[in-house]
A and B are shown apart, each in its own frame.
Chain A
Amino acid sequence: MKELLNKMRVSVLEGEEEDAVALAKQALAEKLDLKTVMDEGFVLGIREAGQLYAEGEYYLPDLVCSADAMKSALAILDEALKKPASGFTSKGKIVMTTVQGDVHDIGKIIVGAMLTAVGYEIYDLGSDVPNVVVLEAIYKIKPDVVGLSALLTTTMVEQKNIIEDLKVAGTRNGVKVIVGGAPVTHEWANKIGADGYSDDAISAVELVNRLLLREGMKA
């Protein structure tokens, strides 16, 4: 078991997505204790990756590979982990999207990788996602935070529209909304009633940690 857990840690640390998926499948097939698999296997790997990034050893591509390996392992284990019996809890759920009318998603992908690396569960809806789909996802996933990215001055208004829609649906208070993207500013975030804004991925992690009042590894 110890050797298997180490393989899980290493698969995520080294960003070997296929290995991580195979190991997650093996964990299910062998009916291993999933809390142990997560806490002493995959989670250790992503924490180490985050630590190496913080120390300057890892670069962004390393972190993105680790985050994707983690996400893929989680996707395999998802259903089993949702059962209370699994005993596993993540730091928090975050829905991320590039707003409708906007296809630029590199910034959001980077923020997602950073947040994964410090232990958050990321649900990336993609880019040019219709507002109605974002709202459905928020309703279904019940995230702690929703991150809305916009690169164009003409699409940033959708961040405002989604916040307004959440208010109308009566679900605004249940979720923290953070906004980002090149044209977005603190001023804009305040104006539209967002809970936070950051101008790069590193401060986005600090922002989420702050919003959720949880101690996270500083990226």
Chain B
Amino acid sequence: MMMQTQVLSPEEKKMIHEESIRILEEVGIKFPSERALDILEKGGAVIDREKQVAYLSRQMVDAALKVAPKEITLAARNEAYDFRMPSTFTGYHMDGCGMNMVDLETGERRSSVLQDLADSARVFDEMELGYIYWPPVSPLDVPGQARSIAATATGLINTSKHIQDEMKTAKEIPYVMELLKAVLGDDKLRVGRDIYSVVYCTVSPLCHDTDMLEANLELCKYKVPVVALPMPAAATTGPASLYSNVALSNAETLSVLVMFELTEPGVPIIYASSLGIANPRNGLFQFGMPETIIQLVAIIEMGKYYDLPTTIAGCATDAKGYGGQAMMEKMATNLPLILAKPDTLVGFGMYECSTTLSLSQIIIDHEVARYCKRLCEGMNIAPETDFFEDIKSVGQGGHYLKQKSTRAAVRSKEFYQQELLDKGSYDEWVSMGSRDMNTIARENALQILEAEQKAPLSKDVEKVLKEIVEEASIKLAE
């Protein structure tokens, strides 16, 4: 039997869907781009040009759902890390768009720089359940317009896993395509391996951003997978009921689906959300709160309702650094979500509502992820786990340590092999330096950074990538 979470009944999923359709049909959604509005109008939407609002019909949503791929592979430079969706387990991302870094040497919080991305990619590369590298912080030492390009290149250089990023303006596209071409070693921009995907954020409530919209319309022709990620916060940028906020988020995700499936039928869209609840005292987004977690579980269920590959935000905390609150909220924003079985979860290593990165927290979060995966796998009731003969053989008193099946079982996946948790005696703990989890994780991170990179790009390719970034830094700043 496997554990699972569920917050919506089949009837309630239908209700949320219907509410979202009503939002799209009656309220509409703002697409501040003439090109987008032309495509939507041609696709059957009623358009208010003055307000730049499109009213999307049920038929448009149904048609988009029909053509959207139900299976997507987020491929990696190293094929061993290809991630196929739907997946039987949850793969993890790094979480993007932070701007602070907990310095590994000093432990102090400072502005993030490009080297932090290189280091985080190296650490992430070693995390077994980490599959998708979304550059977690903005490299503030790189000129503004070239930051995404520099981040993507740094990811490609320092990890052989899938790279995901935001495409903020259409100007970035040629550079990113050059980067991919250099890595894939083929003249074709697209060679059937999607080693790169994008995160597309709506601006809640019910708006798209002009630059990001136009960049992604352009990107559609390459069929790059798109993670559709609204972020409404109940009570500020979303309605103050969990039900309606989930319906709003769902409507925004469906609007992304309609927009891009009309632009390029069959473009891979990953159903997602990073919705939550605002602090009613100061308006700040609250990640580590019960109401956020309940909504995130509901969103996972809606993604599955549509039979779409599903990504969910999680593994997050509002705490400012390592400690009790961080770990409580990290577990709470992992376990219930993992038990609802999203394909992927965003992401490792962040504090402060996903704005501050810590390399040691990447390693701690990976332990949390492994722990949750084990919980998700549940108990195997089968002939091969029926140890009645052992019970009979040991009888009353004694122990099972010498049973052959015991020796095999402790090496099986039924026995969780922890990597960071302290499960020894007190004296043993003292003899090891009385270290806490953060200290051990920090030492592990340092070891990873000191070791040779496992599958580096060739020096020639790395040089080409750096030249592309250099060119982008100059030309896009003009």
Contact = CB atoms under 8 A, between A and B. Distances in A.
Given A153-B147, A200-B284, 18 more contacts: A59-B281, A60-B236, A60-B278, A60-B279, A60-B283, A61-B240, A103-B203, A104-B203, A107-B283, A110-B236, A153-B99, A154-B144, A154-B168, A157-B144, A182-B99, A185-B99, A185-B100, A188-B111
Interface of B: 97, 99-100, 111, 138, 140, 144-145, 147, 168, 203, 207, 209, 211, 235-237, 240, 278-284, 355
Contacts of A56: 281
B165 to A, nearest CB: 13
A152 B212 CA distance: 12
Interface in A149-165: 152-154, 157
A56 B280 CA distance: 11
Given A60-B280, A61-B280, A153 B209 contact: no
28 contacts: A59-B280, A59-B281, A60-B235, A60-B280, A60-B282, A60-B283, A61-B235, A61-B240, A61-B280, A103-B203, A103-B209, A104-B203, A106-B236, A106-B237, A110-B236, A153-B138, A153-B140, A153-B147, A154-B144, A154-B145, A154-B168, A157-B144, A183-B99, A185-B99, A185-B111, A187-B111, A200-B282, A202-B282
A75 B7 CA distance: 47
A157 B143 CA distance: 10
A106 B203 CA distance: 11
Interface in A171-219: 182-183, 185, 187-188, 200-202
Nearest to B240: A61
A155 B99 CA distance: 14
B144 A182 contact: no
A92 interface: no
A126 interface: no
A101 interface: yes
A60 B282 CA distance: 6
A106 B209 CA distance: 15
Contact of A201 (B138, B282, B355): B282
Contact of A103 (B140, B168, B207): B207
Contacts of B97: 153
A201 B282 CA distance: 7
Nearest to A185: B111
Nearest to A101: B211
A183 B211 contact: no
Contacts of A104: 203
Contacts of A61: 235, 240, 280
A201 B283 contact: yes
Interface in A91-126: 101, 103-104, 106-107, 110
A57 B384 CA distance: 61
Given A104-B203, A154-B168, A185-B111, A60 B281 contact: yes
B283 A106 contact: yes
A64 B99 CA distance: 29
A94 to B, nearest CB: 18
Contacts of A200: 282, 284
A60 B240 CA distance: 13
A104 B97 CA distance: 15
B109 to A, nearest CB: 10
Given A106-B237, A201-B283, A182 B111 contact: no
Contacts of B237: 106
A60 B283 CA distance: 7
Contact of A182 (B140, B282, B283, B355): B355
Contacts of B168: 152, 154
A202 B280 CA distance: 13
A125 B267 CA distance: 38
Contacts of A187: 111
A183 B138 contact: yes
